[in-house]
Structures are given as C-alpha cells and as structure tokens.
Structure 1
C-alpha cells in the first residue's frame, strides 16, 4: 500500500496494533510503515537502527524513512515520516500525583498551568505534557536527556490532526491525535518547515 502525502503538508503516518508478542508486532508494523511511505512491498523493506538508535526503514533502492515506536500494555504504536525525524509516545491514562510530579520534573510555568487545571483532568493533562516531551525527545534523538523534562511544550489542547510548534522552536512540532478515552498519544517532528498533519494508516 502506497500512501500519498497530504498536498502542501508534511505528513506523519501512524499505525497501531495489539498483540502479546510486542517485538514481533513492532517488526511487522515497521515493515508495513516502510512499505507504505516508501511505496514498496513490505517484504522489500528492511528495518535497522539509525545512528543514535532510532528505528529506520529502508527500501532496496536505498531510500529511507524515519520511524518511531512506543508501546504500553500490549499496544504498539509506530509513526513514520519521509520529511525528517519523528517521535511517538503513548501512555495509558491512570491516577497519578500529577501536581507533585509536575513540580518535581516540569518547567515551573507548566507545573503552574497544571495546578490551575480542573482536578478531574489533571492526570490526563500531566500525561499530555509527558508524552509530548517523550515524543519530542525521540524526534530529536536525545530522549529525555539533557533537561528533556524541562523542555517547554505548547499547552495541550484537545486531540487534533495538526501538530503545533514548541515555544520558541517553529521547527519542532508536537500534538495529540485522538487515541481513545483510555490512552494519551503524542506525535512530534523535528525539522518541520510548515504545517504537519497526522494520519492514521
């Protein structure tokens, strides 16, 4: 299956699946992603680690596509993009000491924002910031090292298909596509040159 890019927009494609064997499912989804974005059959696509450790899919013609993987409780999420680096992170919604964790780990402005949010939604809001930070770290190839938890994110809005720029960094974008009521999903890109859309494949 070949995916056509959204005209005039950089596009990130996301695949999800559930299985007991997450390692095998991850390999299958990465091959599916590579086949789709590179316009090749899945059997022609290879998977390897790029410098820095992120997964990369490649075709027999040498073309490559950046990819990212996240998993939780049997769910695997793979994101791929031909326009540059990509990161993805998924978390299951659960009760958390959100304000205390935010005060310890997040930028003071983000911790203050979280304190001001309605108590009923704080756990989800905390996880929106957390997954955004993880996804951006993956897109940058550094994870949460070097102050990644203090890296400021745009204030989470509702789920959407467009990614928003980080404060002071128009080339870094992140957003929260809808993953269902019990999950929080974040997708991020580096080297963005304009609007970026997320499409579930």
Structure 2
C-alpha cells in the first residue's frame, strides 16, 4: 500500500463528462490509498461542494481541481491536502496581481523578466488556491493575499507556508502546458503525479519533498506534446 508520507495526484484529460471523470478518479484514490475494493468506496459532496471519499468508515483527505478539460485529484492518507491546476497561457500578470495579491507578491512579479511574469502569476495563484483548499477555506477571507513561498518555477521541493500551521506547498511537474500546485499538512512529503489517461494525454512526474479555471481573467490556450508515463496507481 502507498506510504503515508506520499501525496498522489491523478491527472486526466477529458473531452466531456467531467463530473464522471472526477468521480472515477476519487474512487481510484480511495482504492489505492485505503486498500479497499471500488465497491467499498463512497464519494460524496459536502454542502459547499468539497468532496468526501470514504472506505469502510475511514475518510481519505482529497482535493479536486479542473480547468478546460483537465481534472486533477490529490489525496494523502493522513494529512489535509489541496490541489490546483491551470493551463500555461498569457495573462496580464502585474495588473491582475495589483488587483488580487498582497504588495510583496506584486513587487516580486514586477521584478521578474517580462517573459516570465505570466508563469510567475500562475505559480502564485495555484499555490494560493492549493493552500486555501488544504485549509478548507478556499480563497475566502483574504485567501488571495495569503502569503505563500515565492516559487522558483516547477521543481521537486515543497516549501513551508508562512504562518499557516505546518502546511507545505510546491509545484511538481504535471506535463506540458500545465501549472500544478499541491499543498499538504504536516511534514514534507514526496509527491507523485500519475497519468490517469484520457484522449491524447500522457503525464509523468515524481518529486521528492523537503469545469473552469478559477482565475478572474481567462485566456484560452492549448497543449499537445507528451512526456513519458510514470505510473498507474
């Protein structure tokens, strides 16, 4: 059975039936991490929409994100978890940051090379979303001004979140054209990103730890290149 110190993220591309794909990935997470048969896994929604996955009375911490035909489900056996996924695309990074982020984040973005600002904005945005989900509050009550570690791009490390009770956040590789953030409570974790199939979609990543975008402005993009498949939990 997968270890307790691992966060798993299943990513699937879907042309339609997003709700059904999400349900299947949540069941898959329950089977893999709770060691139960699929018939023993229940998937429910809380009043606010947060998913709940249970197997034989045991609840599995999970989180869900989707954007333009991509679904991501994160799960950890013994700690709160949050996930957010966005597509790489051009955005008016500094203007949006001035409207939504804290001054330190705006200054960090403004000081980056112009060609790196859109990615920097998406890295910050997804981190804030993932942290909010791990806390169980999303972006309510000032979530967009909640400080997160300044990202250095996609990479293997999870970093501590300032002042938020032992949370860690990072940006494991998620395949071409995607920005993925994962937040988890407790100790630093290993993060494994798993290809969950879908039309034309392969994704692979492993990092070692220490029906719509949530962005206020949507700029459409696309991705099609591939990388090797890591695993199929």
Please report how far the alpha carbon of residue 170 of structure 1 lies from its aligned counterpart in structure 2 after TM superposition: 5.5
Report if the CA contact (8 A) 1:52-1:141 is conserved. no
* 1:50-101 per-position Cα deviation (integer Å, ceiling 9, x unaligned): 57542121112x1110111111111110001112211111011111110011
* 1:163-184 per-position Cα deviation (integer Å, ceiling 9, x unaligned): 2111234601111010123111
Query: In structure 2, what is the Cα distance between the partners aligned to 1:27 and 1:131?
Result: 22
Is it true that 1:144 corresponds to 2:139 in the alignment? yes
Query: In structure 2, what is the Cα distance between the partners aligned to 1:130 and 1:50?
Result: 24
* 1:137-180 per-position Cα deviation (integer Å, ceiling 9, x unaligned): 11111111100000011011232333211123460111101012
Query: 1:88 is paired with a residue of what secondary structure?
Result: strand
The correspondence for 2:31, drawn from 35, 59, 65, is: 35
Is it true that 1:59 corresponds to 2:51 in the alignment? no
Query: In structure 2, what is the Cα distance between the partners aligned to 1:97 and 1:160?
Result: 24
Sort the Cα spacing of 1:24 and 1:128 in 2 relative to 1 into closer, same or farther, 3 A.
same
Q: Which residue of 1 aligns with 2:193?
A: 200
Unaligned runs of 5+ in 2: 195-233
Query: In structure 1, what is the Cα distance between the partners aligned to 2:48 and 2:3?
Result: 27
The correspondence for 2:161, drawn from 149, 157, 166, is: 166
Task: State the aligned residue count.
Answer: 193
Q: Which residue of 1 aligns with 2:41?
A: 45
The correspondence for 2:113, drawn from 118, 123, 128, is: 118
Q: Which residue of 1 aligns with 2:2?
A: 4
Query: 1:71 is paired with a residue of what secondary structure?
Result: strand
TM-score by length of structure 2 reads 0.78
The correspondence for 2:174, drawn from 164, 167, 179, is: 179
Q: Which residue of 1 aligns with 2:86?
A: 91
Please report how far the alpha carbon of residue 41 of structure 1 lies from its aligned counterpart in structure 2 after TM superposition: 1.6
Query: 1:178 is paired with a residue of what secondary structure?
Result: coil
Please report how far the alpha carbon of residue 102 of structure 1 lies from its aligned counterpart in structure 2 after TM superposition: 0.7
Is the helix fraction higher in 1 or 2? 1
Report if the CA contact (8 A) 2:62-2:75 is conserved. yes
